Every structure is written in C-alpha cells, then in structure tokens.
C-alpha cells in the first residue's frame, strides 16, 4: 500500500515537470500604434499590435504581431520603470531623415518597459 502511494506521487511529479517543459517562456503585451513607425527595418501602419519577447533582459529577441502573424522583428531590452505604468503607451523617436521609430513600449500596470533597438 505504501509503495502504491509513492508510485502515485512519482507519476504526479513526472507529469507536472513534463508540462513545464512544454510551456513557452514568452513575455508579451499588446499596444496601439497611433502613427506609422519603424520596428527594426519594417514600417508599421497605425493599428493594434502584440509584442512578444524571449531571452535575457539585455538581449531580447522581439517579435511584433498583428492578427496573430509576425509582421516585424528586432532586438530589445527590458527597462525597469520607477513605478507601474498608468496605461499602455508607445514612445516614438524621430530619426534624422524625419521617419519615426518605436523606441519604447510601456504596458499598463507593469513596472517593466520594452525598449527596442534602433536597427
């Protein structure tokens, strides 16, 4: 009887650990782009997007999705905010050629922002 309990516990642990192996370590957040801007080398029109990122905080691989499809990729990093963001916001940088680039994305109620590289 005792060995049956241990066997059940072992099987339970094996199942829980295997589920963790299938979990994707992706961080993500949605945002609205209100003007045309570059992400990486791609020019994005205004609209609703989702950012997903993986990797170490200072060397992220960032994918921008629209309607479930990747429309742009770039690199980025995580920036710690002094307090939780009050709402979603996108910081746009104007480049010397007067084009614009997404520089930072703050997500509502989070203390971390996503900084995109200027590729």
pLDDT of residue 82 exceeding 70: yes
Q: Where do the structural domains in the chain lie, given as residue ranges?
A: 25-116
| Structure-token pair, residue 89 | 């916001």
For residue 53, the cross-strand partners are 27, 62
Q: pTM for the complete prediction?
A: 0.76
State pLDDT tens for residues 19-58: 344 444 459 999 999 999 999 999 999 999 999 999 998 9
> CB of 61 within 8 A of CB of 26?
no
């Amino acid at each position: 009887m005792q060995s049956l309990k241990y066997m059940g516990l072992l099987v339970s642990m094996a199942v829980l650990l295997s589920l963790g192996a299938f979990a994707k370590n992706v961080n993500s957040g949605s945002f609205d782009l209100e003007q045309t801007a570059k992400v990486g080398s791609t020019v994005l029109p205004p609209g609703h997007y989702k950012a997903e990122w993986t990797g170490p905080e200072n060397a992220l691989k960032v994918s921008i999705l629209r309607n479930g499809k990747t429309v742009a990729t770039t690199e980025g990093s995580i920036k710690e905010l002094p307090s939780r963001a009050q709402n979603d916001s996108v910081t746009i940088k104007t480049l010397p050629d007067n084009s614009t680039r997404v520089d930072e994305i703050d997500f509502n109620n989070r203390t971390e922002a996503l900084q995109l590289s200027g590729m």
